[in-house]
Structure 1
Amino acid sequence: MAMLGRLPTKARLTSFGITLDDRCLFGCDVVETRNHVFLGCDFSRSIWNHVLRMCGLHRSGMDWEQELYWLVTRLNGKSLLVIVLKLAWNAFIYMVWRQMNARVFHGVDLTVDQVVVSIKDIVATRLKGKNVNFGDVVNKRLCIEWGLS
């Protein structure tokens, strides 16, 4: 749904006449669109930057369109890094959206670090039991960072 732009962001709900306040839930004074929620907002950008650092990538996340292009053009192959990044991207989308819903419906405000831990747990759970070449320096570091060893 996120990839297709079909999530019920405040901007979409407002266009349907459903909500009055279209501002970002994470405290930004910006209209809540998909592009803003995922990487335009400081909260989500901080989470994604943590994920990139845990993958050993020393770059900052860009806006939604640029980051998606970067992922699609570089995430091919079967290396552990590619697998972790694909899982982490999906977990990132899921956890940011889940946190938005938790704020709206339950009044729960998780920190960036708490969301990162949840993403880490999701990735580690999906990779449990996977055979990993620990002789490879990148794989060894990834296993340590993501709790896979």
Structure 2
Amino acid sequence: MAEQFINCTIRNGKAASFWFDSWTPFGQLLKFLGSSGPRDLNLALQAKVSDAANAAGWRLPSPRSENALKLHIHLTTRQLPLPHLEEDSYHWIVDSIDCSGFSSLQTWEFLRPRSRKKRWTSSVWYKGAVPRHAFNMWLATQNRLPTKVRLAAWGLNVQQTCGFCNQFLETREHLFLVCDYSASLWSRIFARLQPHHQLFLTWGELLSWTRQASAPAPAPAPAPAPAPPTLWILVTQVTIYNIWRQRNSALHLNGFTNTEVTFKTIDREVRNTISARRHKKTFSSLMSLWIR
């Protein structure tokens, strides 16, 4: 894998391997010309680039293949490797850019697998996010949290009804959006951010809401200005995190707190997050929009 990045600049040709170093646009010449290349060019596998030339020119026999012909044509444009020139040098080239040495960052950016950017990216990863909230939101968005329905699908013998209401299956949408416990929390949040907003029914509706331009600024502003969407995403992630935490408490500990206590926890975490980041531009105006 590293072979594609190492490039040799030929000067006197005494250090560079003729067959194994990438000193032409064709990469390793042993691969370019094939296993018969050393025999066809009458150069040993251990030959240096300087062994293929002298003061009179390149010492190579007539080409016997199309690739050998390409190599001959290219060599006519190259400076001869002469003994009085400087030593050969090696360079780490990434995407035609000399990194002036090995660069793990640029190499990884070039090699790492990429896929199309997801629409939900901005609803999960944003500047100033609390890591545990963002990670939990990412798992929920990917539907990878171990809800009871998913645990049962893995073959575990568990009761699949919601730990809050004990009436419906504990799916992602029910647990975080539809259950009376979660719906009560969202109603309190809408009362702060967007009164009269309808409750969510699907996860797509929730993500779409976080991507909105946000609610207007409070009076007495002469013209309502949109608040930073950071507030919507922050509140959503804190809410999802605390619902999941109460669900785990109901399943593994002594039960869950009522919605009044849980909302106070959400409110406190939102305030603490905003206060800790109040010097950031995107957080500077959020407190007044949250506590109004």
TM-score, normalisation: structure 1: 0.81
- Preserved CA contact (<8 Å) 2:210 2:233: no
Task: Give deviations 1:94-140, integer Å, cap 9, x for gaps.
Answer: 0000000111121132111111111111111111135339xxxxx74
User: Within 2, Cα distance between the matches of 1:143 and 1:31?
Assistant: 33
1:108 matched to 2:255: yes
User: Within 1, Cα distance between the matches of 2:157 and 2:149?
Assistant: 9
User: Within 2, Cα distance between the matches of 1:55 and 1:68?
Assistant: 14
Q: Return structure 1 stretches of 4+ with deviation > 6 angstroms.
A: none
Q: Which residue of 97, 102, 122 corresponds with 2:244?
A: 97
Q: Which residue of 111, 125, 133 corresponds with 2:272?
A: 125
For 2:203, the aligned partner's letter is: E
Name the structure 1 match of 2:233: 86
Name the structure 2 match of 1:52: 190
Between structures 1 and 2, the one with greater helix share: 1
User: Within 2, Cα distance between the matches of 1:64 and 1:108?
Assistant: 26
Q: Which residue of 36, 43, 56 corresponds with 2:174?
A: 36
Q: Which residue of 184, 199, 220 corresponds with 1:61?
A: 199
For 1:41, the aligned partner's letter is: C
For 1:84, the aligned partner's letter is: L
**RMSD, aligned CA:** 2.4
User: Within 1, Cα distance between the matches of 2:272 and 2:237?
Assistant: 13
CA displacement at 1:57 relative to structure 2: 2.9
- Preserved CA contact (<8 Å) 1:91 1:122: yes
Report the secondary structure of 2:141's partner residue: coil
User: Within 2, Cα distance between the matches of 1:83 and 1:69?
Assistant: 13
Flag structure 1 segments of 5+ consecutive residues without an equivalent: 134-138
Flag structure 2 segments of 5+ consecutive residues without an equivalent: 1-138, 215-225
The sequence identity of aligned pairs, in percent, is 26
Relative to structure 1, the CA distance from residue 100 to residue 53 in structure 2 (aligned partners, 3 Å threshold; closer, same or farther) is same
How many matched pairs? 138
Q: Which residue of 148, 151, 156 corresponds with 1:18?
A: 156
Structure number with greater Rg is 2
CA displacement at 1:3 relative to structure 2: 0.4
- Preserved CA contact (<8 Å) 1:49 1:61: yes
CA displacement at 1:62 relative to structure 2: 1.8
User: Within 1, Cα distance between the matches of 2:248 and 2:193?
Assistant: 27
Higher RCO, Cα 8 Å, sep 6+: 1
TM-score, normalisation: structure 2: 0.43
Between structures 1 and 2, the one with greater strand share: 2
